[in-house]
Amino acid sequence: MSAIKTKDIRSALLSKGFRSDNRHHEYLWLFVGETQTSVKTRLSHGKSEYGDDLLAQVKNQLGVSKKQLFDLVACPLTYEEYVAHLVQSGRIKTE
């Protein structure tokens, strides 16, 4: 992997159905409609970039591959495609 700026991760996720729960660390929870799912990740306030180790943790928390994580941040992977992937993989259920 390579590094991704924390602000780019935050911005991409907020535009893709995540909402922030700001505490000591910032938690981003995925919402489908008004329903909070179990999919979340934590972003550190003190990190300006996420390198390989932290990106590996984020991709696991979000239930995506390395390529999908980069696509999620760079925007080729849409909210609808991401939610469909999570449903298909059994990570979330929609009604």
Which sign does the torsion angle of CA 83, 85, 88, 90 carry? negative
- pTM comes to 0.89
Task: Compute the half-sphere exposure of residue 64: CA atoms within 13 Å on the CB side of its CA.
Answer: 23
Q: Which CATH class is domain 4-88?
A: alpha beta
- Of residues 46 and 82, more confidence is placed in 82
Inform me whether the pLDDT recorded for 88 exceeds 60.
yes
From the list 41, 34, 30, the residue with the least C-alpha distance to 84 is: 30
The per-residue pLDDT of the chain, averaged, comes to: 92
